[in-house]
């Protein structure tokens, strides 16, 4: 389950997202890595907010982070081909 995912766990690495209580009390977020052509992380997209809102919209936020990363990666790969 996404809500129980911890940074660095096998599920997060496989599914390319993360979700956890942050350093700010009452805040939470979802993040997804931006990988280069070699599959190495070079940046990340992070969506954060009040924990209650993030938990309530976790599926949508996770999908948004993953879709955004996919579009960024496609653009980076396109630019590297030219």
- What per-residue confidence (pLDDT) applies to 76? 87
HSE-CB at 16 with a 13 A cutoff on CA atoms is 19
Residue 18 token pair: 């993360």
pTM tops 0.75: no
Q: What is the CA radius of gyration of the chain?
A: 13
Which pLDDT tens digits describe the chain residue by residue (82 residues)? 344 443 443 444 444 555 555 567 888 888 888 888 788 888 888 888 898 898 888 888 888 988 998 899 889 888 888 7
- What per-residue confidence (pLDDT) applies to 12? 47
Residue 20 token pair: 């956890």
Contacts of 6 (CB under 8 A, 6+ apart): 12, 18, 20
- What per-residue confidence (pLDDT) applies to 25? 80
- What per-residue confidence (pLDDT) applies to 68? 92
């Amino acid at each position: 389950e996404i809500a129980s995912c911890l940074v660095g766990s096998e599920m997060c690495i496989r599914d390319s997202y993360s979700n956890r209580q942050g350093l700010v009390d009452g805040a939470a977020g979802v993040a997804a890595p931006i990988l280069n052509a070699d599959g190495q992380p070079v940046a990340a997209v992070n969506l954060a907010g009040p924990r209650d809102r993030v938990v309530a919209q976790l599926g949508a936020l996770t999908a948004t982070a993953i879709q955004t990363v996919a579009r960024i990666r496609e653009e980076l790969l396109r630019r590297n081909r030219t």
